[in-house]
Amino acid sequence: MERRELIQWLVATAGLPSLAFGRQIHRQPLRRSLSGHVERTLAVATERILPGAAEGNVGVFIDKMLADWHTAAERERFLAGLPELDTRCRARGGRDFVDGLEADQVAVVTALDDAVTALRADRGGAVANQHWFAMLKYLTVYGWCTSAAGMRALDLYPMAGRYDGCAPV
Amino acid sequence: MTQAREVSDFDAIVVGSGMTGGWAAKELTERGLRTLVLEAGRPITPERDYVEHKPPWELPFRGLGDRRSVAARQPMQSHSVSFDEWSHVFWTDDVDNPYSTPPDRPFYWFRARQVGGKSTIWGRQVYRWSDLDFEANLRDAVAIDWPIRYADIAPWYDHVERFIGVSGQAEGLAHLPDGPFLPPMALNCVEQHVRERIAARFGRDRVLTIGRVANLTAPHHGRAPCHYCGPCHRGCITRSYFSSVNATLPAARATGRLTLRPFSIVRSLVYDARKGRVTGVRMIDAKTKAERVYTGRLVFLCASALESARILLNSGLANSSGQVGRNIMDHIKWGGASGQFDGWTDRRVIGERPNGIYVPRFRNVSSRHPDFIRGYSFQGGAGRAGWQAALRAPGIGAALKQRLTQFGPWTMNFEGFGEMLPREENRATLHPTLVDAWGIPSLHIECQWSENELAIHRDMNVAAAELLEAAGAKDIQPSGSGPSTPGGTNHEMGTARMGRDPKTSVLNGWNQAWDVPNLFVTDGAAMTSSGCQNPSLTYMALTARACHYAVEQMKRGDL
């Protein structure tokens, strides 16, 4: 199964008490229209968080992490939080996040980032990192920094092949 | 019936192909012995199995590891500092290879079953012992005296260092003897500054030097110098660090006298009570589970400290002293401090130096500490944090991207590695019911720190802060963590100790079992005390020395 299909299925089944993988997936074709929207939302949101996220294939990485790394509880929290992008965007201009003006998208993502920052100050990193937007931002930033595009931009790839402990910045 | 044609009789059998098994293979074959090396795990082909240059985007989880698989199959192994999504294949499966501990006394038993063993994933720090260490038990009236002194092992340190290649800085310290070093790796700007400030404050009492490391800084016996890619524990296609796969096993193979049999799990030794000798080794094929016996005139146990003890216990051999499995030691860590340095903001590090700084032991060397005997060394280094420090930073968009490319302030850390005293109650026994996937009884391990180790751990924070303060660091933070879990430093040793008396030790001064003259144990099991130096160099030197002795004895007809 393609990863993009899996994320679609995950979105479709978000909130179910337990998620089983495997053949079941193919019994959910009707839900695909829902998840296409989520996939587009993620593509735009990651780009607003970190311009160039797409060239780092961040969407594929997030899909893989949600499917095979995060716990069911973490996954559900993430997917349950994601519609907040639409809610907040509609409150600003009446449109879903993906169809919103860039300025509104940036404002929505900034507000969510500020909320996580406030949570971090109030209740500490462990609590803040549980927030669905903190998850999204972490996966976006980490995914880009470990991508070919990101590592080239950060001067981490290709390797220097030498050591200089006192090089000019 | 093809198996019947396979040679099953050898001059020597070596159990284990790692740090010491590789040395035994090299030394024995080069002295003319047809040698069988039995390795429990799979073969390793560098071109296929080494993954140090695999970029994170080619991994399923980009370096975060397969969380579910690790939780299910490697919950203990994953505590090792060199366990990651690349290197996890070099560690054992905890389900197939179980062991137990008391619930309130965890012990990390890190195990590597493949050709090369843990020499593929080791930290490569190599430091000689001195008589400060070899005389310590006698001086302090702790446990038993070592049967050897520095003069006995010094030529073998030379022998091993010349072959493996050790880069380092000669410092002329009596308690950390120099060797035939390759050029040292460079300190970075802040480390150089800290070295000078510590020298100004402490003179020769506390010395900061570059780590002595089995990574090449010049071509050496056909191996290429280090290219500073960084993650040595994932392999090294240029063979620039020492491992048995990279160096000793090829040397043994070149003699034409090596037979290396992977997937060969040793269940026990075969003993002839009439002769008082081992006659061979009983092993299980890991894949077919078929059992067979190989015979040999000499047997070297090089399976790692706890595994060699397990084989002895499962064989019921070499244990008239009752010391097999006892006296487990590791090094206590997780004490130290870090601090920040103003300045050098226009400087950065290029490349990944697979090495750090070293501060040789300074406690109880020329003065006496009131709270503990023995001492500890520091390892660590200075650097500037990159994108990892900004993963949770506030901000989005172009500003966040800019932030990721910036370097943080220079920070330096010191992490202590403290000596552990041998105590009989820290022991491994055969578990009455627990067996591994091949039906071989596994170990129950009981091991905990004593007050001396805990006092050492507390002092690490104090002394590290003193070093940073002397160097002018700001925002000095002592380590906030408690002591490491025993076993967690991966320096487990002591389970078949050397000594002067068969009543209180398992091995004599030549790593030869008192009870079984043609049986040698030359891995970490042989250690009578733990020092605070990373121990592999000493294991290797003891192995080469024991091989020389065994072959001489054989030639004289005594074995």
Reported as a single tens digit per residue, the pLDDT across B451-464 is: 999 999 999 999 99
pLDDT mean across residues, chain B: 97
pLDDT at B527: 99
With a pLDDT cut of 70, the percent of chain B lying above it is 99
pLDDT at B5: 60
Mean pLDDT by 10 residues, chain A (169 residues): 44 35 32 65 97 95 92 94 97 94 98 98 97 98 98 95 97
pLDDT average, residue stretch B297-309: 98
pLDDT at A9: 42
Predicted TM-score (pTM) of this structure: 0.94
A67 vs B117 pLDDT, higher one: B117
pLDDT average, residue stretch B35-61: 97
Contact between B365 and B405 (Cβ < 8 Å): no
What token pair was written down for A136?
A: 């999204």
- Give the chain A residue whose CA is nearest to the CA of B70: A69
- How far B243 CA sits from the closest chain A CA (Å)? 21
Please report, to the nearest 10 degrees, the dihedral formed by the alpha carbons of residues B373, B379, B382, B385 taken in order.
Answer: -110
Interface test with B, best of A146, A154, A162 (most B CBs within 10 A): A146
pLDDT at B480: 84
The partner residue sitting opposite A147, judged by closest CB among B53, B57, B66, is: B57
- Rounded CA separation B171/B16 (Å): 35
Backbone angles phi and psi of B359, in degrees to 5: -115, 105
Q: Which residues of B touch A160 (CB under 8 A)?
A: 228, 350-351
Contact partners, residue B24, CB within 8 Å, separation at least 6: B12, B14, B35, B37, B300, B302, B522, B543, B546, B547
pLDDT at A31: 31
- Rounded CA separation A137/B139 (Å): 59
Q: Do A163 and B352 touch (CB under 8 A)?
A: yes
pLDDT at A35: 72
Q: Do B351 and A134 touch (CB under 8 A)?
A: no
Which amino acid, B320? S
- Greatest Cα pair distance in chain A: 59
Q: Do B191 and A52 touch (CB under 8 A)?
A: no
pLDDT confidence bin for B481, thresholds 50/70/90: confident
Angle (deg, nearest 10), helices A102-123 and A84-93? 130
- Rounded CA separation B133/B139 (Å): 10
Cα of B322 vs its chain's centroid, Å: 25
pLDDT at B285: 98
pLDDT average, residue stretch B169-177: 98
pLDDT at A19: 32
pLDDT at B280: 97
CA–CA distances in Å: residue A155 to residues A165, B45, B345: 16, 31, 18
Q: Do B397 and A51 touch (CB under 8 A)?
A: yes
pLDDT tens digits, residue range B385-434?
999 999 999 999 999 999 999 999 999 999 999 999 999 999 999 999 99
pLDDT at A28: 33
Q: Do A69 and B68 touch (CB under 8 A)?
A: yes
The partner residue sitting opposite B387, judged by closest CB among A48, A117, A145, is: A145
ipTM of model: 0.93
Q: Length of chain A in residues, anyone? A: 169
pLDDT average, residue stretch B354-359: 98
Cα of B424 vs its chain's centroid, Å: 22
Q: Where are the alpha helices (DSSP H) in B344-446?
A: 397-405
CB pairs under 8 A between A and B: 134
